[in-house]
Chains A and B, each alone.
Chain A
Amino acid sequence: MSATDPTALTAAAAVAAIEDGTLCAGELFEAYRAAAAADEHNAYLWVADGAPEHDATGTPLAGVPVAIKDLFCTAGVPSQAGSKILEGYRPPYTATVVQRLAAAGAPLLGKTNQDEFAMGSSNENSAYGPVLNPWDRTRVPGGSSGGSAAAVAAGCAPWALGTDTGGSIRQPAALCGIVGLKPTYGAVSRYGMIAFASSLDQAGPLTRDVGDAALLLRHMVGHDRRDSTSIGFPGEIGVPSAQRLDGIRLGVPEELSGEGIEPGVLAAFHAVLELAEELGANVQTCRLPHAPHALSAYYVLAPAEASSNLARYDGVRYGARSEDGGDLVEMYTRTRSEGFGAEVKRRIMLGTYALSSGYYDAYYGRAQRVRTKIADDFHAAFERFDFVVTPTAPTVAFELGAKTADPLSMYLNDYCTVPMSLAGIPAISIPSGLSDGLPAGFQLAGPAFSENRILNAAFALEQAIAFDPTPARSGTR
């Protein structure tokens, strides 16, 4: 990578360079467009033809383009949620958050690959083929926002939008050695995001560093009257600048930092905790007694909502319809049998069962009560601690195909990220270091709407960790 390669800059640095006049937004777009078109990780499902016509001069993001996960609706541009059932689907409207970013001066660079309907932790559930990890192309990038994570890690995008339902931003960020943030539920509009599980889905940034995450998030948050669950953000997302963590109390939950975590990942996690103490933080063990039940509750609630959210893909109005004729029920059955992948079908069946008459209280009702308990656990923890910290994922990137035959081991990828999703609270993943040459993630979670504090703490840690992301970019260009 040459010193003059504009794609070497972080997004914030690119904005500054464009404002200084040392970089032209059109050139930057073209450099990324070419990189995206030449991407060898299957990270993109669609790449823009050329730079947008309108001038981004004077806008806060100055024309620095953004890669968007496939499931965000983009008018006239394929938005397939990684599914065959939406093959060729071009929506007539654009998701609110994509509109916001465009208005702030971040045009659409391309649509990134993902697990089908955001269901997966390895990107192997995409109908359009798996995404490869830029650190090792025999390994998965994580999921479901695997295309977004790989594109950013490989330098094929300055930054990207992903969505997180149970860890789908944080886990691929960890496995690809980048930064991923899941905002507080309600901070970012869900309007135009093709839904997986409505009460959990939240859009967030995947970026090269913490500063970029703050900058992108700043232009994503805000109340949207078209999303009645949207709350907006009190105040503004600022520029993180903390150098120290003096007096910051970090809680390390016993339940999420021991058993089941790979030794190398755990070592990187403890190394970061030591750095945190050197920066002045107070690190102590805490309890989240119900966290071990989070995954079970999640795999009732998310499939239940998904079974209903995905009912609209029936072949009647848009997307794929089975070519074979037959009556209405046959058309439904064939369209959905042919259109959905195995994991999506598995979750539709799980969710349908959980909502069935006679089982509702035992499954959905009980899972909702567990969800409340988990939120209460965090509430109690945040009375004693500023943040709860855990390894983001229990392992580093695993080999393609390693877990496809065993859904339960795949689900365990989200063991440390799902509790925050159920509680609706914000959490960031930053690279903690390498284990066997592959990146591991450090997760930092705070109370609702504590994004500014989270970003500041993550920024201080990031400076201290000084993670080197270049191995992921070397093979790309």
Chain B
Amino acid sequence: MTDYEPVIGLEIHVQLATATKMFCGCALSFGEPPNTRTCPVCLGLPGTLPLPNERAIHYGLMIGLALGSELAPRSIFHRKNYFYPDLPKGYQISQYDEPLCNGGRLGDVRIHRVHLEEDAAKLVHAGASGRIHGSDSSVVDFNRGGTPLAEIVTEPDVRSAAQAREWLTLLRTTLRSLGVSDVNMEEGSLRCDANISIRPIGSEGLGTKTELKNMNSFRFIERGIHAEVARQEALLHAGEQVVQETLHFDPRTEAITSLRSKEQAHDYRYFPEPDLVPVAITPQMLDKARADMPELPAAREQRLQALGITAANARQLAWRTELGDYFEAALASGAADAQALANWICNELVARVGEEDPGASKVAPGELAKLVALVGEKAVTVSNAKVVLDRMLAGAGDPAAIVAAEGLGSLDGGDDELEPIVEAALAANAGAAEKIRGGNMKAIGAIIGHVMRETKGRADGAEVTRIVREKLGA
């Protein structure tokens, strides 16, 4: 049986976080009552004309710079014509053959283009179907209509569902650090379509592609691509053909259904928008965009690695902007070593806050640095420090105070204090002691466990091991 590899290109729609809409002065909507963020222009009333949002163009240029695109000195808007109730003018103002940005690369994926356009309004369908066909009635909320979008189109460089997910994470972080979008998939400010085909491994050609529409979480994208690749493989293995069509992935049932085939594809009748003059990018606009560029995740990753942080930790901190920011704030307090801090943030803290921003937790970065410093000074053991961290997340405040109040500090009496406890542990676990004497160091766990119970975790495990070895001559 032939083995196939997936060839995947992604199209990402990013709602830009401008103050106003793409072509009118309406404020962007964040859940206001329906149709309260509208004006004659975004309602497409007769006689109205669009006026391009300069901030959106600025953000588009920043995205282009971040992706290493070629920025077109002159780009034009086109009309994309089709009838739908969420499109008040009967056309969407978009870009066609002269987009704002051409080419580029992010990580291991090449960028085809980036262009600007306006978002459609939101349809709400009454009735069981939840779709326009078969609904009892449908109502339109034009608050979202006209929101600025940047559409980022990649080259077909993605080779797996997992790679798609990982790359989208990098893209999201990049966009977030640019500050051009909220990049929130659940709220629709980041939406992704995938063009998927498969080909025999080793082949250079491209198979027939399908387009998987509008998946609204990274997890669904990964599962959707996975399911579609499997579907295409099954078709080809059964001697059938992949049909070019637009597909919908239902994350609930994992079912893939056809939205329309190539024969039913729209003819959008693109033509240059006569109501808008071409966008001319001036050197001043480029300078302004360059001046507003922050450090991007890829650069941050390198800088963090140069601090002596492991590659895995550096990537995690750089690709989750809020983790990186938290790390840098903690490091700036000067209290703790960079790698130790990175370890604590990437492992212990992330394990506790999950996807949340640690900056919004009750542990200030400087306080975490203090805790990590206490561990470094052996003033508290690692296991007790984890307990202290739990207390801090619950709002208990200063780590040193918690250690003092709860008696969690390391034993500080040296061997005089520790030796009797170790001796007692050896006596109580004679079997284990015998094994250690016989060279089986694995058995030391029982001894250490005993000491830790006796000391409430305040003993240093390494010290305990040293004393045991001395006592038993192991």
| Residues of A that sit less than 8 Å from B by CB | 71-73, 79, 81, 86, 89, 91-93, 95, 190-195, 197-199, 225-229, 304-305, 307-308, 310-312, 314, 316-318, 327-328, 332, 352, 355-357, 360, 364
Contact = CB atoms under 8 A, between A and B. Distances in A.
B46 A91 contact: yes
Q: Which 10 residue pairs spanning A and B have beta carbons closest together?
A: A311-B90, A198-B274, A355-B269, A199-B274, A194-B46, A73-B47, A192-B47, A357-B267, A194-B47, A312-B89
B90 A364 contact: no
B65 interface: no
Interface of B: 40, 43-52, 79, 81, 83, 85, 88-91, 132-133, 138, 140, 267, 269-271, 274-277
B276 A228 contact: yes
Nearest to A191: B49
Nearest to A353: B269
A131 B50 CA distance: 33
Nearest to B45: A91
B90 A308 contact: yes
Contacts of B133: 327
Contacts of A198: 274-275
B52 A228 contact: yes
Nearest to B91: A308
A364 B277 CA distance: 18
A192 B45 CA distance: 9
B48 to A, nearest CB: 7
A91 B39 CA distance: 12
Contacts of B44: 312, 317
A191 B47 CA distance: 6
A316 B45 CA distance: 12
A311 B49 contact: no
B47 A91 contact: yes
Contacts of A89: 46
Contacts of A305: 271, 274
Contacts of B50: 228
B83 A311 contact: yes
Contacts of A81: 46
A312 B46 contact: yes
B91 A317 contact: no
A310 B52 CA distance: 21
Nearest to B25: A226
Given A73-B46, A91-B47, 6 more contacts: A191-B47, A198-B274, A308-B79, A308-B91, A312-B46, A355-B270
A92 B45 CA distance: 9
Contacts of B43: 317
A195 B45 CA distance: 11
A439 B303 CA distance: 82
Given A308-B79, A308-B91, A95 B47 contact: yes
A387 B463 CA distance: 103
A92 B40 contact: yes
Q: Say what secondary structure dominates the interface of chain B.
A: loop
B47 A225 contact: no
Interface centre among A79, A89, A316, A318 (most CB of B within 10 A): A316
Given A91-B40, A229-B276, A311 B91 contact: yes
A357 B276 contact: no
Contacts of A304: 271
B133 to A, nearest CB: 7
A117 B81 CA distance: 19
A317 B50 CA distance: 19
Nearest to A230: B49
B33 to A, nearest CB: 18
A372 B189 CA distance: 42
A229 B50 CA distance: 10
Contacts, number: 103
13 contacts: A72-B47, A73-B46, A93-B45, A95-B47, A192-B47, A194-B46, A198-B275, A228-B49, A305-B274, A308-B271, A311-B81, A317-B43, A317-B88
B269 A225 contact: no
A332 B51 CA distance: 28
Contact of B85 (A71, A226, A328, A357): A328
A355 B271 contact: yes
A318 B47 CA distance: 13
Nearest to B24: A226
A1 B269 CA distance: 56
B46 A328 contact: no
B291 to A, nearest CB: 26
A394 to B, nearest CB: 28
Contacts of B267: 356-357
Given A91-B45, A92-B45, A316 B269 contact: no
A398 to B, nearest CB: 31
A308 B47 contact: no
Contact of B277 (A93, A228, A308, A314): A228
A195 B52 contact: no
Contacts of B45: 73, 91-93, 318
Nearest to B138: A328
B426 to A, nearest CB: 83
A310 B79 CA distance: 13
Contacts of B52: 228
Nearest to B46: A194
B272 to A, nearest CB: 9
B47 A314 contact: no
Given A198-B274, A229-B276, A312 B88 contact: yes
B275 to A, nearest CB: 5
A74 to B, nearest CB: 10
A228 B140 CA distance: 28
B269 A229 contact: no
Contacts of B91: 308, 311
B51 A195 contact: no
Interface centre among B133, B267, B269, B276 (most CB of A within 10 A): B269
Contacts of B51: 225-226, 228
A226 B49 contact: yes
Interface centre among B51, B83, B276 (most CB of A within 10 A): B83
B46 A308 contact: no
Interface centre among B81, B91, B270, B275 (most CB of A within 10 A): B275
Nearest to B80: A308
Contacts of B140: 316-317
A332 B83 CA distance: 9
A193 B49 CA distance: 9
Contacts of A93: 40, 45
A247 to B, nearest CB: 36
A324 to B, nearest CB: 16
Given A228-B52, A308-B271, A356-B267, A195 B276 contact: no
A308 B90 CA distance: 7
A79 B52 CA distance: 26
A371 to B, nearest CB: 12
A95 to B, nearest CB: 6
Interface centre among A81, A192, A352 (most CB of B within 10 A): A192
B124 to A, nearest CB: 14
Contact of B269 (A192, A308, A318): A308
B399 to A, nearest CB: 58
Nearest to A227: B49
B97 to A, nearest CB: 11
B48 A191 contact: yes
A80 B470 CA distance: 101
A328 B49 CA distance: 27
Nearest to B90: A311
A454 to B, nearest CB: 25
A224 to B, nearest CB: 9
Contact of A314 (B48, B90, B132): B90
A190 B276 CA distance: 12
A15 B44 CA distance: 38
A118 to B, nearest CB: 12
Interface centre among B50, B140, B274 (most CB of A within 10 A): B274
A312 B276 CA distance: 18
